[in-house]
Amino acid sequence: MSNPLYDALFGKYASAETIFITTTDGRDITHRSFLSTSARFANVFANAGLNKGDRVVVQVEKSVEALCIYAACVQSGLVFLPLNTAYTQREVRYFAEDSGAGLIICDTCRQEGLQPIARDISALLMTLNADGSGSLADLSLAQESEFNTVEAHGEDLAAFLYTSGTTGRSKGAMLSQNNLLSNARTLTEYWEFTSKDVLLHALPIFHTHGLFVATNIVLISGASMIMMPKFDVKAMLKKLPDATCLMGVPTFYTRLLAETDFDKDLTREMRLFISGSAPLLAETHFQFEERTGHRILERYGMTETNMNTSNPYRGERRAGTVGFPLPGVELKIVSPESGIEVQRGETGMIEVKGPNIFKGYWNMPEKTKAELREDGFFITGDLGKIDEDGYVHIIGRDKDLIISGGFNIYPKEIESILDKQGGVLESAVIGVPHADFGETPVAILVRQPDQEPDPDTILKHIARELARFKHPGKLIVVDELPRNTMGKVQKNQLREQYKDLF
């Protein structure tokens, strides 16, 4: 039966003994072996009563078997919903409840905490650990290593990715098979990936960048990957000579530059370094080129759209820009007020249109209508401009979104917790520049009259409520926040005031 995404990513390798993944402990995983495991997982899901379109919430550590869950979901017609491993039980509950998940897969150490959530929504709960053990693995042992692929169409949903909302309510971006497949094919061709490439994969696989860009490109092109469980600069230095490509966030490159052993000799086999998910400082671009002779290729994407633009593979990669719209993607800069396209060189709202654009937000028709125009253009919320040579520049964000280490953080979610803490009258969370993370959140707290907030107590409370990457880098206590004549907090003034904190 036809299943476009499975056929393009996995099906063609059904009997291939070619290497797909090499692990850092020296294991070589062939395509055939990988697909045998994923087929067993698919049989587990089918025997458990899951049907096409059911949502599968996955909060597990990065591993070969974790990728097998992705393949199994695609083959089964299930909607894959990966979650950041840093999310707390409170956060996972929202995602599971909102999506109406039929199955939750977690690490064994999280099982006890997530059991009540699964029970409350009548979902199944299975476990999978980084070493490949767990109840899912145990159940799969009795299953056949082949699975009859479920028929699917290009417009069928393949995945949900949750992105934070300005009101604190996260939005489930619905991504179709065509969304993922079209983008992977375009990027594979644009960045000239072939079966000769070896990608050093150190990104998480619960995120667009590591999963739908890095992994899908490897599969489409027939390349292989060296899978690192997480970013480890020392381990990366050892593996670079065996790779040809690296996809990373700015942190990867600043940490590599801090290593004296990182030089031209170490990168002699590399053909491409790609950066995204957060702005890369121009200074980092220049330092990297001077040290290695390579010019980093920067691109621009979003959870809702995958990749929209890229600096050219062949041509000038211009620091401080994200290049040109990808083939098949339309991009325009419009006035935020009128929606009318502005002149070349003027700043406005970035809107994009193409086969990569998501289907809408799960159970949020009004939000979908507000951000997806009838003509197919998506209002990104990012401010930008197009220069005289056609390069796209990201100027800032119309919303208060903070992007730290490639992860989206909306201040409202943090502020809603801070405002309830003892001694806090109100709060404002801003993003400030950070060499490693691009930017990091900082919380400005207004003290209650005759009371003083206790930073240690507040940080402990935040640690219980929010994922680590959302924790403020600093808590600053003040008497009042700057406001305009309408009473709105002037976060731009706060960002300017505290821009040199780190």
The structure tokens listed for 322 are 């994200």
CATH class of 402-497: alpha beta
Q: Give the CB-side neighbour count of residue 315, counting CA atoms within 13 A.
A: 13
What string of DSSP letters covers 14-81?
Answer: TT--SEEEEETTS-EEEHHHHHHHHHHHHHHHHHTT--TT-EEEEE--S-HHHHHHHHHHHHHT-EEE
Distance CA 12, CA 14 (A): 6
- Pairing assessment for the beta strands 124-127 and 103-106 based on DSSP bridges: parallel
Q: In which element (H, E) is residue 365 found?
A: helix 365-371
Scanning 395-474, the segments in alpha helix (DSSP H) are 411-418, 455-465
Q: What is the CATH number of domain 4-10+28-152?
A: 3.40.50.980
pLDDT value at residue 166: 44
Going by C-alpha positions, the residue among 117, 135, 123, 164 that lies closest to residue 60 is 135
Going by C-alpha positions, the residue among 195, 298, 278, 207 that lies closest to residue 244 is 195
pLDDT value at residue 167: 46
Distance CA 414, CA 411 (A): 5
**Local structure of residue 213 (DSSP, 8 states):** I
Helices and strands: H and E segment counts in the chain: 16, 25
Distance CA 312, CA 291 (A): 21
**Local structure of residue 451 (DSSP, 8 states):** -
**Cα–Cα separations (whole angstroms), residue 377 to 166, 181, 372, 374:** 20, 19, 6, 7
With contact defined as beta carbons under 8 Å apart, do 170 and 198 qualify?
Answer: no
HEC secondary structure over 76-109: HCCEEEECCCCCCHHHHHHHHHHHCCCEEEECHH
Q: For the purposes of burial, counting CB atoms within 10 Å of the CB of 398, is it exposed (0-12), middle (13-18) or buried (19 or more)?
A: middle
Q: What is the mean pLDDT of each run of 10 residues along the chain (502 residues)?
A: 93 92 94 97 98 98 98 98 92 96 97 97 97 97 96 97 68 97 98 98 93 97 96 94 94 89 94 87 88 96 95 95 97 89 91 97 94 94 91 77 80 82 88 87 89 90 89 91 66 86 85
Q: In which element (H, E) is residue 224 found?
A: strand 224-227
**Cα–Cα separations (whole angstroms), residue 285 to 76, 319, 464:** 43, 6, 37
With contact defined as beta carbons under 8 Å apart, do 444 and 428 qualify?
Answer: yes
With contact defined as beta carbons under 8 Å apart, do 189 and 182 qualify?
Answer: no
Distance CA 473, CA 461 (A): 15
With contact defined as beta carbons under 8 Å apart, do 253 and 405 qualify?
Answer: no
The structure tokens listed for 246 are 């690296």
Distance CA 160, CA 211 (A): 12
The structure tokens listed for 22 are 């090499």
Instruction: Give the total residue count for the chain.
Output: 502
**What is the dihedral angle through the alpha carbons of 423, 425, 431, 436, rounded to the nearest 10 degrees?**
0
Sheet of strand 124-127: strand arrangement: 124-127, 103-106, 55-59, 79-82, 157-163, 171-176, 360-361
- Pairing assessment for the beta strands 348-353 and 402-404 based on DSSP bridges: unpaired
The structure tokens listed for 216 are 């899908």
Distance CA 413, CA 416 (A): 5
Q: Where are the domains of the chain?
A: 4-10+28-152, 402-497
Rg (CA), the chain: 23
With contact defined as beta carbons under 8 Å apart, do 210 and 204 qualify?
Answer: yes
Beta partners for residue 361, in sequence order: 173
Distance CA 292, CA 257 (A): 10
Q: Give the CB-side neighbour count of residue 98, counting CA atoms within 13 A.
A: 21
With contact defined as beta carbons under 8 Å apart, do 194 and 316 qualify?
Answer: no
Distance CA 188, CA 220 (A): 7
